[in-house]
C-alpha cells in the first residue's frame, strides 16, 4: 500500500500552462502519474499537448473535478497567486492539494491552511515542498522518479534535497511513500500526520523521519512516536552547525535562543526510542541494521 496517493490517484495541475507547470507535468506523466487536466483561470477550454497527452484546461478546480474525476491537485502557481489557487481547490473539496510553490507569504499560508480546517475536506501538503511519491504508483510534485523503487520504508522529511538523498541511500530496499512536507513555518501536513499514516499502513515496515532546526515539530513528533508508533523509526536532524539567529535555507529553519536546536531535537527523538544518525548516510545504515539489510 501507500499513504495519501496510489496508482488510481487522478491529478490536476494548477498552473499547468506556465513554464514550471508544463515542465513538471511532463515529468510526472513520464513517471506514470495519472494527470487528467490542468487549471489556469481565463484559459478554460484549451487543450494542451504534452508528449502526446491531450490535457484539457479548466478555469476552476471545481470544473476540472466535475469533468475528470480528479481527486488530487498540485500547485505550480507564482507566490502572489498561490493563496487564491489553494482556496479554489479547498472550495471544490479537493481531497489532496500539494503546494510546491516557494516564497508564499506566511500570512497567506496561514490563511489558506486555517480555511482548510474550517472545511475539513482537504489535506494540504506543503507549501515550499517537493511533493510526495509512491514509487511505481504515482508521483505528485518534483521528486525524481528514478531514484528508487517500491519497498517497505516510509519517509517523511522537511527537506526536499534530503528526501532525494535518503531515497538514494536506501534505493535497493525501496519506499512505500516518501513525503516532503516542506520547511515553511506554516505547513498543512506535519511529521505527525505522516507518522500516523505510516503506522497504520500495513505495507510500511519502518520509518525514516528527517527534521531540521527551528520550531518544535520534531519534539512533538517524538512525543507522538513514544505514545503511538510501534514500528521502528530512525531519524536525522539537519543543522547541527547552524549559527544562532540565522535562517538556513528554509523560512522555518532558524534557531532562537535555546529553542529549536538540532541537539535538542536529537535528544527528544532518542528519548522516544528513535535512533538518530549524525549524517544521512549513517541514518540509512541504522535503518539497514534494523531491517537486517
Which residues are annotated as catalytic?
250
User: Would you state the cell numbers that stand for residue 264, as one nine-digit string?
Assistant: 535538542
Asked whether residue 164 is marked as a ligand-binding residue, the answer is yes
How far the first Cα of the chain sits from its last, in Å, is: 21
Name the nearest CA neighbour of 187 among 228, 130, 135, 259. 130
Long-range CB contacts for residues 103-107, cutoff 8 Å, separation at least 24: 103/79, 103/128, 104/79, 104/128, 104/184, 105/79, 106/184, 106/185, 106/186, 106/251
Backbone angles phi, psi at 239, to 5 degrees: 115, 25
User: Would you state the cell numbers that stand for residue 289, as one nine-digit string?
Assistant: 541494521
Q: Is the dihedral of CA 10, 16, 17, 20 positive or negative?
A: negative
> Are residues 150 and 174 in contact, defined by beta-carbon separation less than 8 angstroms?
yes
DSSP class of residue 259 equals: B
Asked whether residue 228 is marked as a ligand-binding residue, the answer is no
Asked whether residue 212 is marked as a ligand-binding residue, the answer is no
Asked whether residue 40 is marked as a ligand-binding residue, the answer is no
Name the nearest CA neighbour of 113 among 103, 102, 123. 123
Asked whether residue 173 is marked as a ligand-binding residue, the answer is no
- Residue 276: CB atoms within 10 Å: 23
Asked whether residue 290 is marked as a ligand-binding residue, the answer is no
Asked whether residue 18 is marked as a ligand-binding residue, the answer is yes
DSSP 130-164: -EEEETTTEEEES--TTS--EEEEEEEES-HHHHH
> Residues annotated as binding site for substrate?
164
> Residues annotated as binding site?
17-20, 43, 100-102, 164
> Residues annotated as binding site for CoA?
17-20, 43, 100-102
Amino acid at each position: 500500500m501507500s499513504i495519501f496517493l496510489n496508482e488510481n490517484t487522478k491529478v490536476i495541475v494548477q498552473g499547468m500552462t506556465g513554464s514550471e507547470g508544463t515542465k513538471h507535468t511532463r515529468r510526472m506523466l513520464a513517471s506514470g502519474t495519472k494527470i487528467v487536466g490542468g487549471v489556469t483561470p481565463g484559459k478554460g477550454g484549451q487543450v494542451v499537448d504534452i508528449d502526446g497527452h491531450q490535457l484539457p484546461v479548466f478555469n476552476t478546480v471545481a470544473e476540472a473535478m466535475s469533468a475528470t474525476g480528479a481527486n488530487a491537485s498540485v500547485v505550480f502557481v507564482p507566490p502572489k497567486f498561490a493563496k487564491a489557487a489553494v482556496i479554489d481547490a479547498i472550495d471544490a473539496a479537493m481531497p489532496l492539494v500539494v503546494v510546491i510553490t516557494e516564497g508564499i507569504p506566511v500570512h497567506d499560508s496561514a490563511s489558506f491552511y486555517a480555511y482548510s480546517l474550517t472545511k475539513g475536506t482537504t489535506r494540504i501538503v506543503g507549501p515550499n515542498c517537493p511533493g510526495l511519491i509512491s514509487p511505481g504508483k504515482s508521483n505528485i510534485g518534483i521528486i525524481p522518479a528514478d531514484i528508487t523503487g517500491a519497498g517497505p520504508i516510509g519517509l517523511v522529511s522537511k527537506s526536499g534535497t534530503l528526501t532525494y538523498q535518503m531515497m538514494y541511500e536506501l534505493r535497493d530496499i525501496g519506499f512505500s511513500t516518501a513525503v516532503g512536507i516542506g520547511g515553511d513555518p506554516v505547513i498543512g501536513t506535519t511529521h505527525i500526520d505522516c507518522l500516523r499514516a505510516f503506522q497504520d499502513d500495513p505495507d510500511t515496515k519502518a520509518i525514516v523521519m528527517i527534521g531540521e532546526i527551528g520550531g518544535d515539530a520534531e519534539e512533538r513528533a517524538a512525543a507522538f512516536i513514544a505514545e503511538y508508533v510501534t514500528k521502528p523509526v530512525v531519524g536525522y536532524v539537519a543543522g547541527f552547525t547552524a549559527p544562532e539567529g540565522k535562517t538556513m535555507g528554509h523560512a522555518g529553519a532558524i534557531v532562537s535562543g535555546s529553542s529549536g536546536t538540532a541537539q535538542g531535537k536529537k535528544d527528544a527523538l532518542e528519548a522516544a526510542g528513535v535512533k538518530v544518525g549524525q549524517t544521512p548516510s549513517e541514518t540509512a545504515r541504522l535503518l539497514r541494521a534494523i531491517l537486517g539489510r
